[in-house]
Structure 1
């Protein structure tokens, strides 16, 4: 029997959570599931996704409080004979919870990040956290992408027996060539949908500190900006810190591998709100040593001192000090690169993520 699963997604961006959705729908058919998308917002996902063979249905909402798509989603679940609906955000969970109850179809909810601290907008965080908490009562299972998110979910009142940890995963990829020991210059890299919680201003201050100390470092910043206002703020910070000419802003790219191979170190200076960052896993798979902050699932992926270095968030001096550990060879770049590639292959592949998700589906649908 092939079970039919509908993933209800926002669709506005193509960042970490959206890449999880895309990879899952690419992998799940080989594990016995017929999968499709229902998209609630216009945006990047429909054109950027790699899983173009999977059906994508337009259930567009006119606004945040528009619940009219619930009726269409309910009919769709019934008419197309879906056995399971999988929601990925508080917005999609709200619609999926109502529709799944009406259609008598079980719901799985994917916890990608902590809703209560997902952004710098406190009121929206509180509303989303409350919606998520209410909808999780309807869910037959919750998939948390890290142990820290699983603990948060259980602390919010969800039955621990319904919470499953399935770490994010990414495909294997070409490993970055070894760094030439004779090179003096270093390229720091970061990949993100740049928004306040990513802490990019902390990285810019660390970059300024390193260059002031006479170290030949540059920053390669890959990705788009959440808002034009934040773009202006970051570029103004770079100018004020005197590093504008040492930063390359590439914008969004499909060719992540090419950009990773230009980096000597991958730096993720997030302040909060990370579940299990896909970009960290991609850097590991490519053999690019990681310097990242101790937030949520990041430190579950990176073993401090083995696969990279972990520092406290919001501290430019600590971030700069960790980078210097590599530059001044107190941490072995080659050994760290090798360890990261091995750890990715063992724990954080896209196949492992899909297999873990399929196991949750089988439990919910009693397919074992």
Structure 2
């Protein structure tokens, strides 16, 4: 009956750790939050927890994830208010003896909260970004935020990926004892000796391109940099959220006359291979960030970072040490910061920026550290 209801895509592992955790996720993308989920599935077993996925909006994640040996159930919600999905997940929890439910989005929280309540197991909610500032659609943001806060009355613990999100959830009325800060983390990568370019600089931006990521600001700064005589090229790594937004951005590219300065990769499964082609990483986010995985991946690859000083980004990027922070929404400020690093008589030593970026990742933002800290939250709840 379970197979018919949930359509698992892989067989159950023969060896099961002490306790099993059901991660309820969306699954339509494979971007920052999805990489957190994927990495936790790979890293948590060493700390005594096995992960199973339930995708309530399955699309790219099931095929793109690295953790292909981890059990995954496709449990689509017909709408964000599909209560039946929660009832079916509760049945799965009881049948498979899951100790805890870990949800990651407002949609997955709806199903996860119902399931956890019906199955009488604890609920953990992972706050990856501020729901009230997730998009430019204010009404959708408001509905999602209100729904999230209402459902979180049932949550045993909240995990936030940055101190700013931790402060936000406490400001929303949640007890500080219920809100744990666990920084995102990414694996280390093979060491690459980075040398300051002598000619063209390749800038990199990786994202699920949507309005809040600020790609328009970067495009305008490219035009400004070229106008000042800098030889720069952009590798834009990742897919667009919608075709309508892609058309809008391409219209701006044409208007600025910078099509020859940009390579659009679309979705890539190997972000590290792309980052090896980049000299300087740029993330011009306008708002709505937690602690971006792409920033951590860039730092792990030894890339200096120029990014907006929004929300959790300054937790990772240290001004003048491994990168520069700029005012969000200002193409002039972004172009000036990039120009400060790439100009021939730059005050900043490229090799030092690169080394410090790699060191910052290794000391504070490894995937293993992230998983260990999540495991501590589980143990605190489960005993």
Tell me the TM-score range normalised by the shorter chain.
over 0.9
- Rounded to whole Å, the distance in 1 between the matches of 2:195 and 2:248 is 33
Q: Among residues 205, 211, 215, which one is paired with 2:226 in the alignment? A: 211
Q: Which residue of 2 aligns with 1:351?
A: 368
Match of 2:380? Answer: 363
The answer for the alignment partner of 2:352 in structure 1 is: 335
Which sits farther off after the overlay, 194-203 or 323-332?
A: 323-332
Other structure's SS at 2:319 match:
coil
Return the alpha-carbon distance in structure 2 between the equivalents of residues 158 and 94 of structure 1.
18
Q: 2:39 aligned to 23, 26, 31, which one?
A: 23
Task: Tell me if structure 1 keeps the 8 A contact 2:280–2:303.
Answer: yes
Q: Which of 108, 111, 123 does residue 92 from structure 1 map onto?
A: 108
Determine the C-alpha separation between the residues in 1 that align with 2:64 and 2:290: 22
- Scaled by the length of structure 2, the TM-score of the pair is 0.94
Which consecutive residues of structure 1, in runs of 5 or more, have no partner in the other structure? none
Q: Distance in 2 between matches of 1:233 and 1:188?
A: 22
Q: Secondary structure at the match of 1:215?
A: coil
**Which stretch shows the higher mean deviation, 89-98 or 161-170?**
89-98
TM-superposed CA distance for 1:73, in Å, is: 0.6
The separation in 2 between residues aligned to 1:67 and 1:121, in whole angstroms, is 25
In 1, Cα distance between equivalents of 2:296 and 2:191: 13
Question: What does residue 144 of structure 2 align with?
Answer: 128
Looking at structure 2, the residues matched to 355 and 63 of structure 1 have their Cα atoms a distance apart, in angstroms, of 34
For 1:168-179, list aligned pairs within 5 A. 168-179=184-195
Counting only pairs closer than 5 Å after superposition, residues 70-149 of structure 1 correspond to structure 2 as: 70-149=86-165
Shift of 1:175: 3.4
Residues 136, 212 of structure 2: 8 Å contact kept:
yes
Shift of residue 180, structure 1, vs aligned partner:
4.5
Question: What does the per-residue CA deviation read over 1:320-344, in whole Å, with 9 as the maximum and x for residues that have no partner?
Answer: 0000111122221110100010010
Aligned mates of 1:239, 1:141 — CA distance in 2 = 48
Aligned to 2:308: 293
Question: Partner residue of 2:211?
Answer: 196
Describe the superposition over 1:85-127 as per-residue Cα deviations: whole angstroms up to 9, x where unpaired.
0000011111111111111100000000000001111111111
Q: Is this contact kept in 2: 1:110–1:142, CA < 8 A?
A: yes
SS of the equivalent of 1:352 reads helix
> Is residue 2 from structure 1 mapped to residue 18 from structure 2 by the alignment?
yes
SS in 1 for 2:320: coil
Root-mean-square deviation (Å): 1.0
Q: After TM superposition, where is structure 1 displaced by more than 6 Å over at least 4 residues in a row?
A: none
Shift of 1:8: 0.2
Number of residue pairs matched by the alignment: 365
Please, which runs of 5 or more residues in structure 2 have no aligned partner?
1-16
Counterpart Cα distance in 2 of 1:163 and 1:95: 21
Task: Give the equivalent residue in structure 1 for 2:340.
Answer: 325
Is the CA contact 2:23–2:51 (under 8 Å) kept in the aligned structure 1?
yes
Partners of 2:335 and 2:185 in 1: how far apart? 28
Are residues 1:308 and 2:323 paired? yes
Give deviations 1:164-184, integer Å, cap 9, x for gaps. Answer: 100000000123432245x12
The SS at the match of 1:356 is helix
Residues in 1 aligned to 2:205 and 2:129: alpha-carbon distance in whole angstroms = 19
Query: C-alpha separation between the residues in 2 aligned to 1:365 and 1:72?
Result: 23
Task: Give the stretch that moved more between structures: 92-101 or 285-294.
Answer: 92-101
